[in-house]
Amino acid sequence: MGTKAVLLYTNNEQDRSSSVFTRIKPHYGYSLVEYFLKYCLFVCNLLFTALGLVVLGLGMWGLITKESFAQEKIGSIGTDPMLILVSLGLVLTTLCLSGCVGAIRENYCLLKLFSTMVLVLVTAQILAAILAYSLQDQVGNYLRSGMLAAMARYQDDLDLRFITDEIQSNLQCCGADNYHDWEINIYYNCSAPGVLACGVPATCCVDPLENGTVWNSQCGVGAQQLDEFTAQSVIFLGGCLGGISRWIEQHEGLIGTVSIVVMGVQILTLFISTRLMESILWNYRSNCNNNIIKLMKIYLIYKNTPGNE
């Protein structure tokens, strides 16, 4: 009777051992805080992945609509504002999708990729801020070159035209350094034929509305031929580079606050992903140790079974 019981017990243990060998599934145990962090990281990255896809879609739609990939336009695609949207959307989608899938699937490799990309992004932002502060003259020259390029293509690219008009109307400025910069545009050049020659866009005008209601697109005609004393009653004399500098000085507190909040969110995201990776590793090692102990017990039972010494 005792021998039968031992054999029955041994058979049960062997059946259990075979199930352990055929399928060893990890069992992760997380605290409530870790579950909260996991799903918080998932939801946030899911929202930003959707946002990245929208931005990417808008950028691609803009490039295709304007036929920016056509042979005659491909050379100037580097100055197309839609290219910024495409790049931003691609980076945002790739970054947040890896964090989203990594969090919900508890995938260590994807979370490692996500945290590395966030760390690189934070480092790049800090370096960019330091370089921008220490190389202010070079940054100013780069902005001047960019704005002059946008002014040269004012009639050819609706996006550049919209951006230029918004800057000039909101900052009440005209040109990069002054209103004579519009000489760079082939339509506003004084040697150009047509009514726009020696003029400036209507967004340079002090009062672009005729009788206060109707938009007067011809209010800047011939403005480049006027001296500064006469022109100041018609158009804005100051350049937009100076206007941008003044705007930054007036809103430096808000800019600093937003920058700190954005940087804090990224660092918090880095902390959450690192915490989840540590939990995954801890649970994986704990699961491996438990499986080793189970296998050792099965081995000892097998060795102690009569006839297996």
| Residue 183, pLDDT score | 93
Look up tokens 């036929």; give the residue.
67
Mean pLDDT is lowest, of 69-73, 118-122, 167-171, 188-192, for: 69-73
* pLDDT at position 4: 42
170-174, 209-213, 255-259, 276-280: the lowest-pLDDT one: 209-213
Percent of the chain at pLDDT above 70?
Answer: 76
- pLDDT for residue 209: 81
Q: Is the pLDDT of residue 223 over 70?
A: yes
pLDDT of residue 217: 83
pLDDT reading at 29 higher than 80: no
Indicate whether 224 pLDDT > 50. yes
Higher-pLDDT residue of 251 and 21 is: 251
Of 142 and 11, the structure prediction assigns the larger pLDDT to: 142
Name the band, by pLDDT with cuts 50, 70 and 90, for residue 37. confident
pLDDT of 85 above 80? yes
Average pLDDT over residues 244-251: 91
What is the value of pTM for the model shown?
0.70
Residue 308 pLDDT greater than 70, yes or no: no
pLDDT confidence bin for 8, thresholds 50/70/90: very low
Q: Minimum mean pLDDT among 12-16, 128-132, 252-256, 294-298: which range? A: 12-16
Region of poorest pLDDT, from 61-65, 161-165, 196-200: 61-65
Question: What's residue 62's pLDDT?
Answer: 82
